[in-house]
Amino acid sequence: MRSPDYNRRVVVTGVGVVSPVGNDRDTAWRNLVEGRSGIREITKFDASGYDHNAAGEIEGFEAAAWVDPKAVRRSSSELHYGVAAAKQALQDSGFEVDDSNRTEVGVVFGSGAGGQTLMVENYSTLHERGPNRVAPTFIANALVDSTSGMIAIETGAIGHNIAIVSACSTGTHNVAEGAEAIRRGDIIAAITGSTEMPLLEVAHAGFENMRGLGSPRPGEPLQTVSRPFDATRNGFILGEGAGSLFLEDLELAKARGARIYAEVVGYGSAADGWDMIQPIEGGTGSARAMKMALERRGVPADEVDVINPHGTSTPVGDAREAQALWAVFGDRAARDRRSLAISGTKSMTGHMMGAAGAFEAFATVMTVAEQTVPGTLNYRDFDPACDLWVVDETIRMPVRYALSNNIGLGGHNGAVIFKRYDGD
């Protein structure tokens, strides 16, 4: 264990993703840039009796390609997605975990809800077939930290290992806390991220009864259902998947000649303490998290060029996030200034719940690395309550800093900032 050094620089050297827009870095990024939606009709269960039948489902994913087949049978999809994304990020980084360093490589990887599928299945088994038929392995595989444990098993990374849970901000907090663990000296590198599989009928029913789910524009395709900050937005849509970033000490990365995507330079976390569903009036909790992220290492607010917002496409949520952005960035946020680009990738994936922050951290890192801002699909109608420069088509532009912002049920707010790395 090293001594803490809060000026220690941490960089992203590997990325991995399993998502509605692709199950690897290149496919997912290409689809984001080309504006290809991953939203389609639900197939995970029969949604014909519901008013809403769209979701961001994953296609073409083979769990056994990433997880031991025996473990696949005992576990559920969110664990498979998380292990796959984590392994991709580790492989992409070129970092070799071995006996000389495995105790110094950590896993900071969460989930918003864990293995709900296993809980539902075993509850049904209990009542239909009796207590003796409940699987003895389901509890260990259904916990929120099951994925972080399996990542350690599958990769050999046995250092600092935790799973942070903060609803829709889970991914943001796990990525950023992984960077802080490196600065504290707990580890030299971290596999970070989050995963989620919320496409269960009971969850769908709950969100529909909450009146949170959205509908496409009348007479338009299903893919128009998610339209963040648009004046016609009327709710979010669920998505599934996982995202992972491999983080390491900059000096270590330079010494081994690693590709550096971006530097992790800001982190903020704050609570609303106000309501379990809606963000607080004025978005003040989110604003505090973003201000903290800027102040932690002195990031100039006027040099943040891109925001990947929470942007779920809900009437109240998007308006309050816009208020938070104005509170932090002032009139730089205004649409007509064209100074602070808003890239709402949930328009293509739906809301991946606990995995959202990690997937959007991936998108933000790629935005910085490629100096390219994915457009917000379906954005057409300006809403004065969301006076933001919402980029509706992919553009290339200089990106110095980009911020990923998330707002979780229960009032959990998180923000993480990535900086362009120029070899300094």
Contacts of 13 (CB under 8 A, 6+ apart): 92, 93, 94, 95, 246, 247, 248, 253, 258, 259, 260, 261
Q: Is 298 exposed, middle or buried (0-12, 13-18, 19+ CB in 10 A)?
A: exposed
SS3 call for 387: coil
Say which of 52, 80, 160, 168 is annotated catalytic: 168
Q: Rounded CA gap, 285 and 281, in Å?
A: 9
Say which of 52, 80, 310, 412 is annotated catalytic: 310
Q: Rounded CA gap, 47 and 237, in Å?
A: 13
Q: Rounded CA gap, 181 and 109, in Å?
A: 13
Asked if 39 and 221 touch (Cβ cutoff 8 Å), the reply is no
Asked if 90 and 97 touch (Cβ cutoff 8 Å), the reply is yes
351 is catalytic: yes
Q: Rounded CA gap, 161 and 73, in Å?
A: 24
Q: How many CB atoms neighbour CB 50 within 10 A?
A: 14
160 is catalytic: no
Say which of 160, 173, 204, 351 is annotated catalytic: 351
DSSP state of 336: G
Q: Rounded CA gap, 43 and 53, in Å?
A: 9
Q: Rounded CA gap, 116 and 44, in Å?
A: 14
386 is catalytic: no
> Which residues have a catalytic role annotated?
168, 310, 351
